[in-house]
Structure 1
Amino acid sequence: MGAMYSVATFEGDAHFQAYVAQPDGSPKAAIIVIQEIFGINPGIRQKCDGWAAKGYLAVAPDLFWRIKPGIELDADVEAELQEAFGYFGQYDPTDGVKDIEATIRTIRAGIGGLPGVAKVGAVGYCLGGKLAYMVAARTDIDASVGYYGVMIDQMLGESHAIANPLLLHIPTADHLVGPEAQAAVHAGLGDHPRVTLHDYEGLDHGFAAEHGARRNEAGAQLADGRTEAFFAEHLA
């Protein structure tokens, strides 16, 4: 079980909360878990706890804090799904990059009085998958992973700035990222020396969710195994 810690914004003029799960012993590295549009809900906390069990310091910042701090929504409840889409429509992902960069800085300095961790990776889902791409292009994150990231096809002009390894998981039947967008991502990133792309035939958006109807067990295990190997290589 983790706990909530405070993180100062990049500008230092406010604070937001982050869920932090600590490993037993010194962490081998840190991983920022970037939320979907459902907030720091039980699934995101479970992902953090899982990384902590593997020896990483895991941190999930509350990225919707400017709109409504502390939301926890369920994708399988229609009213909560629509509420989440409402937040997504209000959200500025540039704020997310700033908050993730502030989280990187805080982790390296020592979050909540914990010892600093030099190597920091990030893994994000849906909105978080988009932010994982943006963070790879705009910050010095050591390695990033995006699951079913949305709108990446609209930001391919930033790909030249990706300086550290990036892994993207792409379900081919993603109802939020259609075939044309997927083709654009492959065309724009397929030969990038720091980018790895994996397709998941027939799987839909959200297939690696920890809970609920969206999860595909075989697909989630395959993608998560690839993510674990990626971080083991690039955060060593």
Structure 2
Amino acid sequence: MSPTNTSIPALDGEGDIPAYVARPDADSSRAIIVIPEIFGVNAGIRQKCDDWAAEGYLAIAPDIFWRFAPGVELNPDVEAEFQKALGYFGQYDADLGVKDIEASVRWLRGQGTNRIGCVGFCLGGRLAYMAATRTDVDASVGYYGVMIDTMLNEAHAISNPLMLHIPTEDHFVDHAAQQKIHEALDPNPKVTLHDYPGLDHGFAATSGNRRDDEGAKLADGRTRAFFAGTLA
């Protein structure tokens, strides 16, 4: 496994998106886009890429804040940095963000991969849902995606498999929002929803105060099995 920093062309000639890339030891036709939380491409996100590369996938994490805070790395366990991340979330344009995911898909296809999945966390979880409705990515997984309940009018456009991990005590996605998601997506044969009773937002973080080890291992195992099937 070899990690590197690179940049990929944004759509519409807008610039270059910084990205972290982890390559498996052997060439692979399968790839995973790891979409960060509001804390940037930090050590936890890089570790997730490394883990996917160890599983045999070409993994890339694009810098979703590159337009206004390139290279930022924040620690959610440090209150000042957490508040800074919330400010970045307020500035962020998710419509542009999903175009950056599409740019990542195009870059990966140019690297010789033909089966591509994306997995996102928090804001990245929302982008994973948007990628399922707006791009041709082959499979998507969202962990505790925020604001998905406000975008359910796009659900009809889901054409490839989508999995969402929903902690029932997510203080950013309340019970009413979770109910809307279930009502809209449970009937969709392309969508799989997993609830995690008693768990909160961020439970699958690589490390830190938010991580719930048992819940994270359960969700990550489901994600690995999902991609093993959908990207075969």
Do the two structures share a fold, i.e. TM-score over 0.5? yes
Aligned to 2:34: 33
**How many residues align structurally?**
231
TM-score by length of 1: 0.97
Residue 117 of structure 1 aligns to a residue in which SS? coil
Secondary structure of the structure 1 residue equivalent to 2:40: coil
RMSD: 0.7
Q: More displaced, 84-93 or 8-17?
A: 8-17
Partner Cα separation in structure 2 for residue 78 and residue 124 of structure 1? 22
Distance 1:131 1:117 in 2: 21
Q: In the aligned structure 2, how far is the partner of 1:120 from the partner of 1:233?
A: 12
- SS of structure 2 residue aligned to 1:120: strand
What SS is found at the alignment partner of 1:16?
strand
Q: What's the counterpart of residue 59 of structure 1?
A: 60
| Residue 117 of structure 1 pairs with residue 113 of structure 2 | yes
Q: What is the match of residue 128 of structure 1?
A: 124
Letter in 2 for 1:168: L
2:218 to 208, 212, 222: 222
Q: Give the alignment partner of residue 210 of structure 1, picking from 196, 206, 212.
A: 206
Q: In the alignment, is the contact (CA less than 8 A) between 1:28 and 1:55 conserved in 2?
A: no
Distance 1:36 1:6 in 2: 19
Cα deviation, 1:54-76, whole Å, max 9, x if unaligned, reads 00000000010001100000000
Return the offset for 1:26: 1.6
Aligned to 1:148: 144
What is the Cα deviation at residue 28 of structure 1? 4.6
- Aligned residues: percent identity? 63
Equivalent residue number for residue 8 of structure 1: 9
If the length of structure 2 is used for normalisation, what is the TM-score? 0.98
Unaligned runs of 5+ in 1: 111-115
Report SS of the residue matched to 2:21.
Answer: strand
Partner of 1:99: 100
Q: Distance in 2 between matches of 1:68 and 1:153?
A: 27
Write the letter of the residue equivalent to 2:46. Answer: R
Q: Detail structure 1 runs of 4+ shifted over 3 Å in the superposition.
A: none
C-alpha distance in 2 between matches for 1:59 and 1:87? 21
Question: Match of 2:133, as an amino acid?
Answer: A
Deviations 1:181-225 (A, max 9, x none): 000000010110100000000000000000100000000000000
Please give the secondary structure, in 2, of the residue aligned with 1:11. Answer: helix
> How far apart are the structure 2 equivalents of 1:206 and 1:13?
32
